[in-house]
Amino acid sequence: MQPPRFTMQPSSSNSIVREGTTKILQCSATGIPQPMYRWLKNGAALGEYSSELFFKIHNTQRQDAGAYQCIAKNDVGAIFSEKNNIVVAYMGVFENTVESVIKVESGKAAIIDFAHIESEPPPSVIWQDENGVNGALRYDQKYAITDKHQLVILSASQDDQRAYRARAINTQLGKVENSPYTRLNVYGDENREIAPEIIIKPQDTRIIKGQEYTILYCIANARPLHELETLWFKDGVLIDLAGITYDLNDQWNRTLTLISANANHTGQYMCQARLKTGGFAIVTAAASITVFEKPIMLTALKSETYGEYGNDVVLECNVQGTPLPGITWYKDARKIASVGAEAGEADTDVHDGEGRYRVEVDRSLVISNLKMEDMGIYQCIASNEAGESSIYTWLKIKTENSARVRRSQMKLIRMRTADKKQKSFRFDAGIRAPTNQRVLVASPPVMQSAPSNLTVLDGKDATVSCRAAGAPTPNVTWYFNDSLIINLSGRLQALEEGDLLITSTTTADNGKYTCVRANEAGSVSGEAYLTVQAVRASDAGEYVCVVTSPGGNHTRRATLAVIELPFSPTNVRAEKLDAASQRAVNVSWTPGFDGNSPTNTENLDNSLIAGPTPDPLLNWVTEPMNVSANQRWVLLTSLKAATSYQFRVSAVNTVGEGPPSDPTEVVTLPQEAPSGPPIGFMGSARSSSEIITQWQPPLEEHRNGHILGYVIRYRLKGYDNSPWTHQNITNEAQRNYLIQDLITWKDYNVQIAAYNDKGVGVFSDSYIIKTKEGVPEAPPDNVRSRLSSVPPNLLDPLTEQSAVLSGLDKFTEYNITVMCFTEPGDGPPSPFVSVRTKEDLPDEISNLQFDDVSDRAVRVSWSPPKKSNGVLIGYKVSYQVKDDSDTLKEEVLPPNVTSVRVEHLQVNAPDAQSILVTGLVPFTTYRLRVIANNIVGSSPPSEPCKEFQTIQAPPQHPPRNVTVRAVSANNLRVRWIVECHAIPSNLTYTVTLTELRKYVVYQIQVLGYTRLGDGALSDPPVTARTFEDSKFHVSFLKFLSLRLPITNRSS
């Protein structure tokens, strides 16, 4: 048998995955018998053992992120693999979409915080203002960006008064989100000097040894800003003299980068800010840097360790690291004990060997009084904040009935064929032993195939042999250049026979390889040198072979041409053409050396230049065209107007693509009128003579320059021959406009277009909006009146008279008096009788407005109705998706509220990828389907999603139809009905209350409850009396409270 040994660990490459994709993890181990595998996430098992090498995460979600590892197990024991941290990439939206305003005193620094957005990995952030080309702000003396993505505007002045926003980019998803604008207002004296002040101070940081870059920030402010100077010190010594590798990323020394961190970088770093001209005190700020080092095993355990039955054995775990690592011992992947960082963690699944396992101060594991059940694989895992390392060994137990002798002392007497399958042999060892003693043969390793010097070409695989025989089978350990124990993973793998396989060799693999094969009877070693050669261009030339002999001489010549990547083209130029299409650029070049292989094609790359200074590290985009190797120029016409470009060319031959040429000079294409309209244009009537409109800027590819403003034109619908009325909006940042002086209750066609320096662009399609109804502007014509009177009863003029008064106002108090009149005149009026008319529906609310409109929310505000016609008790706001009554929702508000923000609106944009479904019933199972709509109609429904259940909530309604019936002198039977959102729709529950007092009146109410709380009590209470008993009589009420699970239910 052989213990498990990993040949492939879960790879940490591509550990960032997108939501909704499939992630496959793999680990592979050798062993006899073949190992089984179990996967863990954050230490918790994800299933049982199986022979499957792969673990698949389908439709990856955010909750799938975590540390994954596997356990390999066979009959010998079990070991842990390395951990692989999986990160699920996602990006939300900015939570706050409202524009904000900050104020700062002139000369002080303004700090604009980066609004919160959920993103993994953290987004790349650039800042924009409302006036700049493409909105990009350069990192310069005026602007700085912190590690928390804050924008710092130094020495603020009146020129800085404008709106700023952040542009967050998730580079894994390619998703971009824009934060709301923050407007900066600056006040105070523009000429007052400001003392130096450190705005962003360096922070205490812990870094891991070998970390490529670590950045410290020290952003200071003063006025005049150009006199400000920043210096860095380490442990009180100027950074230039500190003896560490570092870089100052800008000419103002605001950021210090520590390169390839090691122990020398540990210390205190201080930045000092002062004015070169003096006059103010020097200010400083300091931070401590601590370099952590992952655990390193100083000594390795043997692959097999032997212990005598009943004796003690010590397994060492000699580890170092910064901080001092904590260690955990495992037997067959089951925890034994911990020392250090994890020692205090409670763990119910700890195997301590009945008290025979203990960990010493030096972290070694001592096993006392060895027993046969102690055999297995023991693994020491050391971890600290910098990482994790492990070693393991297979512990074997030798019993007192086992005797080991050398093969030289043995003589083969007989071998039975029947026992050959069981490998049972009889030897004469030349010693006397008890009849029940087993004789085990121990022979030292013998090298069968020793390592030999090997030369391979760069990029090829190399196998260094090291095969040996012995009993028991000798283990193998490989060393590189006599000191480094080779970690057998990745490109370096130990084969089952002991050979070392090196895949995709590089020149870094050159050196001496030593293998040691060892068992308990001895060891043997061998060494060899590996040389990795790469043919170079300098090897090219003519080679002559001369053969001389007594019979004559002979000469042969051969020419060696080294095929390599082609050189970069030279003299690359880009020229703007004055063609009918102003977007034409001609790129020409001179080909370079072809690398002794014919050039197949030429690749042409372009890069958009966002700022005044080209950045050579920007992403280059390859033009989708096939450029012949014989071509020396290309005419590009599918470029963007008002955009700056650089171009470069690279050649491709049979070896591959050569290095690109130097970029051309920056070519800026002229502006054109916008080729597309603003997007999201819509509007609504605000009053009988006003229409409010809103929009978003045109798409980036349609702007063709810096947008200066917008033009809105409108006219009455149906009057196509009438001229348009135009409104010019000169503020590019404006996103809404109120059109006034319109005709009441008329339909208007409204369009919008953007304009730049080159003119007005394309108008949008007409948006039809009707103004509201108005109040009549003229009195009625031909008004006639009629006087009504109530004549008395001619037969009995003294009887009670009555009349109906109409045309009165609703919910209005009137004083009514009655008088009699005859032909000569009116009699005296009666005393006043105060009467109020009844309430009626309120009039329509007025001044309905929609503000703060975003993609998922809107604020609705209004004014109270002119006549409430009664006591106003509240408002009801109803809203739904247009033409979809199934989405109707309502909110009831008190009468003192005249505005509400409606949130969580459904996204119905054509490019929406998600939608919020609301109004679901708690604790109910659903399946959802999605239907797409266009102007033609609706698509077939999608396949339903998997069933899901909403979470619980307290019951919304009290039980109803509560009935109580006395069934005996001590029992009452209670029944009630509960609403159920299923089939059947109502459920009847029955419970019998027992052990009650005889002939007592009980008042009973029922409520429902869940884990999240109680519902309302049934109302009114139901009263019932238990049956009478002849022995005694009780006349008082008894109050009980019972909580009953649902056990007795009839439907």
User: How far apart are the C-alpha atoms of 1049 and 190, rounded to whole Å?
Assistant: 81
Give the mean pLDDT of 534-538: 66
Q: What is the pLDDT of residue 416?
A: 35
Contact 756, 705 (CB under 8 A): yes
Residue 221: closest CA among 104, 129, 309: 104
Whether residue 424 has pLDDT greater than 50: no
User: How far apart are the C-alpha atoms of 279 and 285, rounded to whole Å?
Assistant: 20
Report how far Cα 544 is from the mean position of its chain's Cα atoms.
Answer: 64
Whether residue 783 has pLDDT greater than 60: no
User: How far apart are the C-alpha atoms of 133 and 119, rounded to whole Å?
Assistant: 27
pLDDT digits (tens, 9 = 90+) for 682-720: 999 999 899 999 999 999 888 888 899 999 999 999 999
Q: What is the pLDDT of residue 561?
A: 77
Whether residue 790 has pLDDT greater than 50: yes
User: How far apart are the C-alpha atoms of 791 and 877, rounded to whole Å?
Assistant: 51
Residue with tokens 């702007």: 703
Q: What is the pLDDT of residue 1045?
A: 59
Contact 581, 570 (CB under 8 A): no
Q: What is the pLDDT of residue 597?
A: 84
- 538 CB-near residues (< 8 Å, 6+ apart): none
Phi, psi of 239 (to 5 degrees): -60, -30
Give the mean pLDDT of 918-923: 79
Q: What is the pLDDT of residue 552?
A: 78
Residue 137: closest CA among 158, 153, 156: 153
Question: Is this model's pTM higher than 0.95 or not?
Answer: no
Contact 867, 846 (CB under 8 A): no
User: How far apart are the C-alpha atoms of 965 and 590, rounded to whole Å?
Assistant: 104
Give the mean pLDDT of 957-982: 84
pLDDT band of 308, cuts 50, 70, 90? confident
Q: What is the pLDDT of residue 907?
A: 62
User: How far apart are the C-alpha atoms of 898 and 802, rounded to whole Å?
Assistant: 44
User: How far apart are the C-alpha atoms of 1046 and 987, rounded to whole Å?
Assistant: 11
Residue 727: closest CA among 696, 756, 688, 755: 755
Phi, psi of 870 (to 5 degrees): 155, -170
pLDDT band of 565, cuts 50, 70, 90? confident
User: How far apart are the C-alpha atoms of 441 and 383, rounded to whole Å?
Assistant: 40
Mean pLDDT lowest for which of 92-101, 579-588, 830-839?
579-588
Name beta bridge partners: 586: 575, 635
Q: What is the pLDDT of residue 1042?
A: 61
- 567 CB-near residues (< 8 Å, 6+ apart): 592, 593, 594, 595, 651, 658, 659
Q: What is the pLDDT of residue 348?
A: 52
DSSP labels, 429-466: -SS---TT-EEEEEEEEEEEE----EEEETTS-EEE--
- Number of neighbours of residue 399 by Cβ within 10 angstroms: 12
- 748 CB-near residues (< 8 Å, 6+ apart): 691, 714, 715, 716, 717, 742, 768, 769, 770, 771
pLDDT band of 26, cuts 50, 70, 90? confident
Give the mean pLDDT of 940-945: 85
Encoding tokens for residue 770?
A: 């009707």
Report how far Cα 209 is from the mean position of its chain's Cα atoms.
Answer: 27
Give the mean pLDDT of 181-210: 91
Residue 550's SS3 state is coil
Whether residue 220 has pLDDT greater than 90: yes
Encoding tokens for residue 179?
A: 């934060």
CA dihedral 256, 262, 268, 270 (to 10 degrees): -10
Residue 382: closest CA among 360, 363, 358, 361: 363
Contact 248, 195 (CB under 8 A): no
Phi, psi of 494 (to 5 degrees): -90, 120
pLDDT digits (tens, 9 = 90+) for 44-74: 999 899 988 888 888 888 899 999 999 999 9
Q: Regarding beta strands 858-863 and 846-851, do their DSSP bridges make them parallel or antiparallel, or are they unpaired?
A: antiparallel
Whether residue 1036 has pLDDT greater than 50: no
Q: Return the ∠ at Cα 914 (arms to 909 and 918), rounded to 5°.
A: 100
Phi, psi of 887 (to 5 degrees): -95, 10
Give the mean pLDDT of 527-534: 88
User: How far apart are the C-alpha atoms of 176 and 181, rounded to whole Å?
Assistant: 16
Cα–Cα distances (Å) from 529 to 488, 495, 622, 1043, in that order, read: 18, 19, 44, 82
Mean pLDDT lowest for which of 238-242, 784-788, 1012-1016?
784-788
Contact 112, 715 (CB under 8 A): no
Give the mean pLDDT of 255-259: 92
Whether residue 645 has pLDDT greater than 80: yes
Task: State the number of CA atoms in the 13 A half-sphere of 955 facing the CB.
Answer: 18
Residue 968's SS3 state is coil
pLDDT band of 410, cuts 50, 70, 90? very low
Q: Return the ∠ at Cα 414 (arms to 410 and 419), rounded to 5°.
A: 110
Mean pLDDT lowest for which of 138-152, 170-184, 275-289, 817-831?
817-831
pLDDT band of 873, cuts 50, 70, 90? confident
Using left for φ > 0, alpha for ψ between -120 and 50, and beta otherwise, residue 509 falls in alpha
Residue with tokens 């042969």: 556
User: How far apart are the C-alpha atoms of 519 and 304, rounded to whole Å?
Assistant: 8
User: How far apart are the C-alpha atoms of 564 and 1047, rounded to whole Å?
Assistant: 82
How buried is residue 156: exposed, middle or buried, by Cβ count under 10 Å (0-12/13-18/19+)? buried
Tell me which amino acid residue 795 is: L
Phi, psi of 823 (to 5 degrees): -60, -35
Alpha helices, DSSP H only, in 665-718?
700-703
pLDDT band of 788, cuts 50, 70, 90? low
Encoding tokens for residue 423?
A: 């490998």
Phi, psi of 346 (to 5 degrees): -75, 135
Name beta bridge partners: 966: 972
Sorted by where each starts, the structural domains of the chain and their CATH numbers stand as 2-90 (2.60.40.10), 105-192 (2.60.40.10), 193-293 (2.60.40.10), 298-400 (2.60.40.10), 403-533 (2.60.40.10), 570-668 (2.60.40.10), 679-770 (2.60.40.10), 960-1050 (2.60.40.10)
Phi, psi of 48 (to 5 degrees): -90, 175
pLDDT averaged over every residue in the chain: 83
User: How far apart are the C-alpha atoms of 840 and 1045, rounded to whole Å?
Assistant: 48
User: How far apart are the C-alpha atoms of 182 and 111, rounded to whole Å?
Assistant: 11
Encoding tokens for residue 647?
A: 């171009």
Tell me which amino acid residue 114 is: F
pLDDT band of 350, cuts 50, 70, 90? low
Encoding tokens for residue 430?
A: 């030349």
Contact 507, 531 (CB under 8 A): no
- DSSP state at residue 933: B
Q: What is the pLDDT of residue 1040?
A: 54
User: How far apart are the C-alpha atoms of 982 and 258, rounded to whole Å?
Assistant: 64
Q: Regarding beta strands 100-105 and 182-187, do their DSSP bridges make them parallel or antiparallel, or are they unpaired?
A: parallel
- 217 CB-near residues (< 8 Å, 6+ apart): 146, 147, 200, 201, 202, 203, 254, 255
User: How far apart are the C-alpha atoms of 287 and 216, rounded to whole Å?
Assistant: 9
The per-type count for the chain, helices as H runs and strands as E runs, is: 1, 88
Mean pLDDT lowest for which of 144-153, 433-442, 479-488, 553-562?
433-442
CA dihedral 572, 573, 579, 584 (to 10 degrees): 60
Report how far Cα 468 is from the mean position of its chain's Cα atoms.
Answer: 52
Contact 79, 4 (CB under 8 A): yes
pLDDT band of 562, cuts 50, 70, 90? confident
- Number of neighbours of residue 903 by Cβ within 10 angstroms: 11
User: How far apart are the C-alpha atoms of 299 and 523, rounded to whole Å?
Assistant: 18
Please state, for a pLDDT cut of 90, what percent of the chain lies above it: 26
